[in-house]
Amino acid sequence: MIEVELRGARLLAGRLPAAELRELCELSAARLGVEDGHVAVEIVEEPRIAELNATHRGRHEPTDVLSFPIDGAEPLPAEAPRELGDIVICPEQTVEVREAVVHGMLHLLGMDHERDAGEMLALQDELLAVHRT
């Protein structure tokens, strides 16, 4: 089971129910073969995501989503819960919050659209299409 810890949910008001956010995290993880783990999703305003973007990526501007992986993709002992990491989303910078959730999860699970040949974004589109049906 993927445990999703949601912080700042009030900033999602009317944009994405917490239950759907959890479903998107679970769907993304399951598609990549991850069945157990914990992810923290924090919803923040522009000043906070701009600060994080500057600190961690050297980009002094707000962005839509940032991912901070913790445990790598290596196998863990069965008794150890996998700490996937943190996703930080700024709804003010996000056209589609669902897309930001999936995007963040795929990064936590080791995918990188800046280094692959389009696989991550194709999978993102596939997951969002599956989720809508």
Domain locations in the chain?
A: 2-132
Helix or strand or coil: residue 88? strand
- Which residue(s) pair with 132 in the sheet? none
| Strand locations in 8-133 (E) | 37-43, 65-69, 83-89
Enter the tokens of residue 42: 């924090």
Say if CB 64 and CB 94 are below 8 A apart. yes
Q: What percent of the chain has pLDDT over 70?
A: 91
pLDDT at 19: 93
Provide the CATH topology of domain 2-132: Collagenase (Catalytic Domain) (3.40.390)
Cβ atoms 42, 90 nearer than 8 A: no
pLDDT grade, residue 133 (50/70/90)?
low
pLDDT given at position 79: 59
Full-prediction pTM beyond 0.85?
A: yes
